[in-house]
Chains A and B, each alone.
Chain A
Amino acid sequence: MNKKSIFISVAGILLLAFALATVIYKNHQSAQGTSGGRNQSVTERQGAPVKGPADARVTIVEFFDPACGTCADFYPLVKKLIDQYPGKVRVMMRYAPLHTGSDEVVKMLEAAHLQGKFFPALELLFNNQQRWIVNHVSQPMRARGILNGLSLDHEKLDTDMNSPGVSEAIQQDVQDGQALNVRATPEFLVNGRPLPSFGYKQLSQLVKEAVDEAY
């Protein structure tokens, strides 16, 4: 065999091995995903902020970071999905503060949640991300300033932020996120099942399947 054919055949073998490994890995992943989904005790947390009816049989669990631009982009879609299947779908928001500085910001959100204002606070932060995130780093002081626009007990918010209850809730989310291998946000689990691949369509499809299954 001359050099050229050695080179080309080895290159071909390596590429083929890569493609094969990818296919095998993906199949292995989806086999795991369909076998009953994930353990509910890890995916859901009692008392976490929920939008949608409590008795909905389809639960979207979203691990999010308030500083994550893609989470803000997905938020309208998630709301749309709840409206699209009235009474059947709810979303549970769980904290995954992966950005630097976000740990302080999720404390504010959890404290707002104690006053029933989680979603207004979240929307405010999502809509004004450019005002409190500088070079992908959260600026908690600026975020707090933006939350001043909410009508709630601000003194209580500031005390609650640093209460043990709030940090326990966040700690639980972070722990469960690690157990579920959440490395990027947003991470969605629909009735415990992860997205086959990341994207708007995939989320809509997964929710549709779950609704068809449950109702």
Chain B
Amino acid sequence: MDSKDINPGTNNGWMLLFTVWVLVTVATLGSLFFSEVMGVPICTLCWYQRVAMYPLVLILGIGLLPYDPKVLRYATGFAGVGWLIALFHVLLVAGIIPKNVQPCVQGIPCTETHISLLGFLNIPMLSLLTFTVIGVLLFYTHRMEPS
């Protein structure tokens, strides 16, 4: 591991991936804060996005210590699926996808949003934004790695 540290490309790759890890950890803790501390109800679509987001904390964490660039492959799969679900959710909230296709039951409609920052940043929007940034960072890490 120490010999790899000399390679500047690998070092930057680690830093980028570490940034992604910080991002997914903040997103994970943030979403847990909303649901467990503030008591905001969770709709089905949010759960699917959590399924894609939460494992990244562990997978990337393991891939960072010691650094294993192969973790990129696994992380990209999760991030991609999460991004697609987040996009669907945002379009649903925006009313672009008609409401009757929404899969939610039990009085927690996914079209209802609870938190709004700066007037447009609701939770699905935050999720899409986070998955997008994760995707971009993963892409740059990939370019940096010779593999």
Q: Which residues of A contact B (CB under 8 A)?
A: 3-4, 6-7, 10-11, 14-15, 17-18, 21-22, 25-26, 98-100, 136-137, 183-184
Contacts and interface: CB of A to CB of B under 8 A. Distances in A.
A99 B26 contact: no
Contacts of A11: 25, 61
A17 B28 CA distance: 13
Nearest to A17: B29
A98 B108 CA distance: 8
24 contacts: A3-B5, A3-B14, A3-B65, A3-B67, A6-B18, A7-B18, A7-B21, A7-B61, A7-B65, A10-B18, A10-B22, A14-B29, A17-B29, A18-B29, A21-B37, A22-B33, A25-B37, A25-B38, A98-B107, A99-B106, A100-B105, A100-B107, A136-B105, A183-B41
A3 B4 CA distance: 12
Contact of A136 (B32, B41, B106): B106
Most chain B CB neighbours (cut-off 10 Å) among A3, A7, A22, A136: A3
Contacts of A7: 18, 21, 61, 64-65
A137 B105 contact: yes
- The 9 A-B residue pairs with the shortest CB-CB distance, nearest first, are A98-B107, A18-B29, A22-B37, A183-B41, A14-B25, A136-B106, A25-B37, A7-B65, A99-B107
Interface string B90-130: 00000000000000011100000000000000000000000
A7 B37 CA distance: 26
Interface of B: 5, 14, 18, 21-22, 25-26, 29, 32-33, 37-41, 61, 64-65, 67, 105-107
A37 to B, nearest CB: 19
A95 to B, nearest CB: 13
Contacts of B65: 3-4, 7
Contacts of B22: 10, 14
A150 B112 CA distance: 38
Given A7-B65, A100-B106, 4 more contacts: A4-B65, A99-B106, A100-B105, A184-B39
B16 to A, nearest CB: 13
A4 B1 CA distance: 11
Contacts of A136: 105-106
A152 B9 CA distance: 81
A169 B109 CA distance: 24
B107 A26 contact: no
Contacts of A100: 105-107
A6 B17 CA distance: 13
A2 B27 CA distance: 25
B63 to A, nearest CB: 11
Nearest to B30: A18
A134 to B, nearest CB: 12
A21 B18 contact: no
Nearest to A3: B14
